Structure 1
Amino acid sequence: MFGGLTGLQDPKGTDWGERMLNTVASQTIRHLFTQSESVEVFVRCYPSSKLLQGSIDSFKMSGRGLVIRRDFAVEEMSFETDAVAIDFGSVLKGKLSLKQPTQAIAQVILSEVGINQAFSAELVKKRLLNLTVPSLTALSGGEPVSFTDVQVQLLPENRLQVVAKADLNNGELVPLSMILTIGIERRRRVSFKDPKMELDQVPEAQREISQTLSVALVEILDNMVDLDRFDLDGVKMRLNRLETEGQKLIFSGYAEIERIPSSS
């Protein structure tokens, strides 16, 4: 499987350890994702002999066009550690194992397109379809309510516009449109706050119910994006800040890496 290691284990070369570890690490990290456009790993280990004791100076990963859990697109992801202790024996077996947990500075960039695609994922749809919350079914004559056709547009200053439709399951579709502010809570959850309803495009007869349903949708979104639900096995993301920049949503923080996962 790791035939690419052939010729990299010549101890005469000053970078033989780095090249071998880069090869193993790249293939290990690439397999964490359902799909990847590119994954690059840069390992610093000087002198290379330190690798024999399982000590490396730094570990940096950069990926583009990544897909996590088959449905969640990440435009870019990067993380970088300080010194790390690894099991050198695992490297010789074509694997990468940590001797102890470590932390890495991390950045994740999502695109507006990728965010909207995520609303088609089963994990997301089950939180939006056929809801039987009493406050909602009271509006639909007891029928389940679904939020469909959700579209997000990123705006400056950590704001976004959300448009959607509420299906009352009684033949009535109610259009929803609002501007929200997004932020971070407890370093792991994305919050949706301060909704400002846009009712100009909503038929006058539906404006009151549209506003009520919009508030309900905000509450659902506010409890939906918890990073612990999307963590790779052995890796937890923690956020320090987020910002909207054009059609990108940029998260920065750190990753708590307990072990290198074996698959996505």
Structure 2
Amino acid sequence: MFDQPGMGEEALNKVAEIGLASQLDEVENLDVDIKTDPLKLIQGEVDSVNIDGDGLVMQRDLRVEELDMQMSSVAINPLSVALGKIELTKPTEASVRAILTEADINRAFNSDYVRQQLQQQQIHVDGQLVTVDAQQVDFRLPGEDKVALNASILLRETGETHQVAFSAVPRVSASGQTVTLENVEHGDKEELSPELTQALIEETSEILNLSNFDLEGMTLRINNLQIEAGKITLQAQAHVEQIPSG
């Protein structure tokens, strides 16, 4: 009887898709598949919610190649659907899988937001306090669980351009909320400035932190970070207090 998506499911899907899209800067493809039936919906019961997205641009210009989110046994306020919203009556947990490509992370590094963070940094070079700007950042995923970064740095006082390069292994914190870089190896025998390298390391960690992926009403916790040549795959749990509505 309920093999075909009913009007209830179709309406829920559309409401959720519009709501999620409103939280994103860009969307190539977004599909929400909510499974329930009219009798359960009247009681506020939803069997499952699956969200499948491609080419989603989050805050800070961070693009995600693929995003899959799955929730089961979701409780909603049935009256909210009539108002064009999906209001959860209790929080639920979701499993999340996200894929970021090397190009996606490069896009974030060279976005206006991050470039502003890496401009006019005051650092010490050879004992002198100088002002530096990151001109171009090249982020790579060479494989072997590593990330690598090469940045062109302009010294404002002298007009000289220097290259800063390092590779490191990202590690997820015990809380699953942050990513830190370990086993940092410098590309050059002599660092231009430890402070500058540290600033770039912190910005790399910030881009990889899951706070960038949080949507309204959703908080993510990383379970696993898999790094391959050319891409990063995040496995995470999401605590969902509400599904964004348009």
Normalised to the residue count of structure 1, the TM-score between the two structures is: 0.82
After superposition, what is the alpha-carbon deviation per residue over 1:1-25, rounded to whole angstroms, capped at 9, x for unaligned? xxxxxxxxxx9x7733222322222
- Counting only pairs closer than 5 Å after superposition, residues 12-161 of structure 1 correspond to structure 2 as 15-45=6-36, 47-69=37-59, 71-132=61-122, 136-139=123-126, 141-161=128-148
Is 1:240 matched with 2:227? no
Distance 1:122 1:24, change over 3 A: same
Partner of 2:121, secondary structure, is coil
Partner of 2:171, secondary structure, is strand
- Whichever residue aligns with residue 241 of structure 2, its letter is E
- Whichever residue aligns with residue 17 of structure 1, its letter is G
Give the Å deviation of 1:140: 7.3
Q: Aligned partners of 2:193, 2:11: CA distance in 1, in Å?
A: 59
Higher radius of gyration, 1 or 2: 1
Partner of 1:43, secondary structure, is strand
Q: Contact 2:16–2:243 at 8 Å: present in 1 too?
A: no
Q: Contact 2:124–2:193 at 8 Å: present in 1 too?
A: no
Moved more, 207-216 or 228-237: 207-216
Give the Å deviation of 1:125: 2.2
Q: Aligned partners of 1:152, 1:169: CA distance in 2, in Å?
A: 23
Is 1:164 matched with 2:155? no
Q: Aligned partners of 1:232, 1:156: CA distance in 2, in Å?
A: 29
Q: Aligned partners of 1:216, 1:30: CA distance in 2, in Å?
A: 35
Larger strand proportion of the pair: 2
Question: Percent identity of the aligned residues?
Answer: 28
Q: Which residue of 2 aligns with 1:8?
A: none
Q: Aligned partners of 1:139, 1:115: CA distance in 2, in Å?
A: 32
Q: Aligned partners of 2:60, 2:187: CA distance in 1, in Å?
A: 34
Distance 1:14 1:176, change over 3 A: closer
Give the Å deviation of 1:211: 6.5
After superposition, what is the alpha-carbon deviation per residue over 1:133-170, rounded to whole angstroms, capped at 9, x for unaligned? xxx23547323223331111102232022111222222
Unmatched runs of 5 consecutive residues or more in structure 2: none
Q: How big is the alpha-carbon RMSD for the aligned residues of Structure 1 and Structure 2?
A: 2.4
- Whichever residue aligns with residue 237 of structure 1, its letter is L
Q: 2:176 aligns with which of 187, 209, 212?
A: 187
Q: Contact 1:79–1:106 at 8 Å: present in 2 too?
A: yes
- Counting only pairs closer than 5 Å after superposition, residues 209-248 of structure 1 correspond to structure 2 as 209-210=191-192, 212=194, 215-221=197-203, 224-225=206-207, 226-248=209-231
